[in-house]
């Protein structure tokens, strides 16, 4: 799933989600649309199948993008900052939707984020990277119970994981500052 979104604005939700298998000639249009309708129902998006992306909120667009990615039955789902620029309420709702989609599909998800709390809340493993050159600095195994609920954010286990990650990130931020590094797009 791309950082800036990649839904076709001229296609409906159903057409966007069913596009991949039809384009790859894995499924006929009819088979792909039947599969897409079922997936959209399971993702609680059945009421927007005929809508165009511009008619959806950014949160719904992200959910459609995830459904479209799952439609292709990937072994790994790569999400590059999918919830960027979302307000807290929408982001929290999207976390729950992603956790539910994960529970449904059990796909490996590689989730790239700068949001420490988001990483720990969603992941089973958090990898903290160094500044340039980017190498693995710390691997944190997250053994919080599933299904995840927002109340876990206040548990001692979660807070300890957050402390460990924050210390590691602070060290890297200090090094970057001392070297005069700036984030580059």
What per-residue confidence (pLDDT) applies to 183?
Answer: 64
With contact defined as beta carbons under 8 Å apart, do 138 and 164 qualify?
yes
Q: How far apart are CA 168 and CA 163, in angstroms?
A: 9
Query: DSSP letter string over 20-68?
Result: HHHHTTSS-HHHHHHHHHHHHHHTT-GGGTT--GGGS-HHHHHHHHHHH
The predicted model scores a pTM of 0.78
Q: Which CATH architecture has domain 1-112?
A: 3-Layer(aba) Sandwich (3.40)
What per-residue confidence (pLDDT) applies to 17?
Answer: 96
Paired with 125 in beta bridges are 141
9-19 burial: b if 16+ Cβ within 10 Å, else e: eeebbbbbbbb
What per-residue confidence (pLDDT) applies to 49?
Answer: 96
Q: How far apart are CA 94 and CA 157, in angstroms?
A: 23
Paired tokens of 177: 């500052």
Instruction: Compute how many other C-beta atoms are within 10 angstroms of the C-beta atom of residue 97.
Output: 19
Give start-end residues of each CATH 3.40.50.300 domain in the chain.
1-112
What per-residue confidence (pLDDT) applies to 171?
Answer: 87
Q: How many degrees, rounded to 5, is the angle at CA 124 between CA 43 and CA 91?
A: 45
Task: Going from the first residue of the chain to its last (185 residues), give the mean pLDDT of each consecutive group of 10, the final group possibly shorter.
Answer: 78 96 95 94 90 91 88 89 81 85 86 92 94 90 93 95 93 84 63
SS3 141: strand
Chain mean position to CA 60:
13
């Amino acid at each position: 799933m791309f950082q800036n979104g990649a839904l076709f604005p001229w296609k409906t939700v159903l057409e966007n989600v069913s596009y991949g298998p039809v384009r790859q000639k894995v499924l006929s249009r009819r088979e792909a649309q039947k599969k897409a309708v079922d997936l959209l129902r399971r993702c609680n998006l059945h009421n927007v199948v005929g809508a165009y992306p511009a008619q959806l909120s950014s949160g719904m667009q992200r959910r459609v993008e995830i459904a479209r990615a799952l439609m292709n039955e990937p072994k790994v789902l790569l999400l590059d900052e999918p919830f960027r620029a979302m307000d807290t309420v929408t982001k929290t709702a999207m976390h729950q939707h992603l956790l539910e989609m994960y529970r449904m599909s059990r796909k490996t998800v590689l989730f790239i984020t700068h949001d420490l709390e988001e990483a720990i809340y969603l992941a089973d493993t958090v990898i903290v990277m160094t500044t340039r050159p980017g190498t693995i600095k710390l691997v944190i195994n997250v053994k919080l119970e599933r299904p995840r609920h927002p109340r876990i954010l206040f548990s001692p286990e979660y807070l300890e994981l957050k402390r460990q990650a924050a210390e590691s990130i602070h060290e890297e931020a200090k090094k970057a500052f001392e070297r005069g590094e700036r984030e580059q797009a």
